[in-house]
Chain A
Amino acid sequence: MRSAPKGSLRVDRVLLDTSTFFDVGKAPRQAKALWAQNTIYHLVQYQLHHSKLTISAFTAFEYLNGLHRQSRLPEAEEFLSTVLPSLDVIYPDSAIYALASKIHAALALAGMTIGVPDTFIAATAVNQNLTLVTANTKHFQRVGDVGFPLWLDNWRDA
């Protein structure tokens, strides 16, 4: 782990949602936008405290799916060989599957499902007691609204 600057605040490990990486990828070209400045600021601070970014395997799936949908085979291979090993990837175990099924059922009964990948991403955050960093807080808010303790943060915000 890289050493944090002396006197800096503790930065807890978080689970980064797919949407946050869209912002991370687009921010350098949007330097004047406040959301881009905040996103880069948070990432710079975070990487001082954590040598690896934590994601759900479903976020990796969404990136690879998006690359394959565009026939971007070299980039998909680079993602698998170079990017994925640099990340702290949480693969769903039986506890996460069980929790995801509960969350999905509760959301379905309330008529506000969020899709299977995002259900697993939310279940991973709840199961691991990690704050989920997402640019889609309204979307994931539904999980909290049906009674699951999902803590959300948005790096677009200050």
Chain B
Amino acid sequence: MSFDFPASVERDIERYAQDEHISSAEAVVQLVRDALKAKKRNAANRKFTEADLETLRRNVPIFAFLEKLPDGVLDGIQAATNEIRAEGFTPRG
């Protein structure tokens, strides 16, 4: 099995391997194992409750703001943001 990693991921792996004084291959195996363990462990623990949402409504004003936006408005903001990314420049003249 072989993988092509993006350059930035390769840099992260190299940095981790150097920090841990292990080879790059060992670093990849270790990181994947840790990630899989964490994913399994966390999947069961992260169901949020109404109390969590109430905490966020109280402490994080943007959460309360976004949550009460009418259906579709957030999708509209997202669509507008995607349009900005795709916008080109108007030719001069």
Contacts and interface: CB of A to CB of B under 8 A. Distances in A.
Interface of A: 2, 18, 21-22, 24-28, 31, 34, 36-38, 40-41, 43-44, 47, 51, 53, 62-63, 65-67, 69-70, 72, 75, 78-79, 82-83, 86-87, 114-118, 141, 144-145, 150, 158
B65 A47 contact: no
A147 to B, nearest CB: 9
B43 interface: yes
Interface residues of B, number: 37
A144 B15 CA distance: 14
10 contacts: A37-B46, A40-B53, A44-B55, A62-B80, A66-B81, A70-B73, A70-B80, A82-B65, A86-B62, A115-B86
B91 interface: no
**Interface of A, helix, strand, loop or mixed by DSSP:** helix
Contacts of B80: 62, 65-66, 69-70
Nearest to B72: A70
Contacts of A63: 77
A83 B84 contact: no
Contacts of A65: 77, 80-81, 84
B66 A24 contact: yes
Given A24-B66, A25-B66, A38 B42 contact: yes
A115 B84 contact: yes
B61 A118 contact: no
A44 B8 contact: no
B66 A21 contact: yes
Given A158-B38, A158-B41, 7 more contacts: A22-B74, A37-B46, A43-B56, A65-B84, A66-B79, A75-B73, A83-B65
